[in-house]
Amino acid sequence: MLTKDKLTVVQWQAVRNTPHHVIIAVSSSGGSAFDEMLERSAGLQAVVDATNSTHPLVSEIGGSSHIMHAQDDVRKWFYTLDEAHRTPDRLQEKALETARHALDALGTHGSAEDLMHYGEFVLSLATRVARAAREGDVMGIGGELVSEKERKFIERLDQLVQERRPR
């Protein structure tokens, strides 16, 4: 199984940062500020829970120092954007871009099993974030568990993961 030591620094950063970009991409897709807070909290908990993974690379992503470095990298990237470019669409594109780099690195250095574990982790994280809060509800009544924008992003992410899986 692939470990961080077999990746370059840039490849590891893509693998480590992708979950955090996915959290922001999904949580910024709509809803209130409170919804975003709930979704980001659920996403971070999913990253922390990764330490329980049987796959060493996924498990390492959940380490506290790696979480802190990933959040610093994402924050630095975000604040390089002009205010006009800090949009949900741009955040989704960045998440897909980093996911593409991460999956390419795993495809180059890892096995089909590595791609499967990582892809499932990122997709389950995105789904967990999307289901953490109802969008469009009024005091908990109505709304939808996963918004259309969240669903479309998760479908694009899933397509990216499926394209990288060996047949």
pLDDT tens sequence across 122-143 = 999 999 999 998 766 665 666 6
Encoded amino acid at 114, one letter:
D
Q: What is the pLDDT of residues 34-43, one digit of tens each?
A: 889 999 999 9
Task: Give the mean pLDDT of 6-26.
Answer: 98
Taking the CA atoms of 125, 127, 129 and 131 in sequence, report the sign of the dihedral they define.
negative
Residue 83 in any domain: the answer is yes
pTM, to two decimals: 0.92
Residue 2 in any domain: the answer is no
**Which residues have CB under 8 Å from 52's CB, separation 6+?**
59, 62
Q: What is the pLDDT of residues 79-124, one digit of tens each?
A: 999 999 999 999 999 999 999 999 999 999 999 999 999 999 999 9
Count up the domains in the chain and report the number: 1
Long-range contacts formed by 159-162: CB under 8 A, 24+ apart = 160/96, 160/99, 160/100, 160/103, 161/99, 161/103, 161/115, 161/119, 161/122, 161/123
Residue 156 in any domain: the answer is yes
Task: Give the mean pLDDT of 64-72.
Answer: 97
Residue 38 in any domain: the answer is yes
Q: Which domain holds residue 80?
A: 7-164
Residue 59 in any domain: the answer is yes
Helix, strand counts (H, E) of the chain: 7, 0
Task: Give the mean pLDDT of 24-51.
Answer: 92
Answer whether residue 167 shows pLDDT above 90.
no
Q: How far apart are alpha carbons 58 and 133 in whole angstroms?
A: 25
**Which residues have CB under 8 Å from 60's CB, separation 6+?**
3, 4, 66
Which pLDDT value is given to residue 137?
60
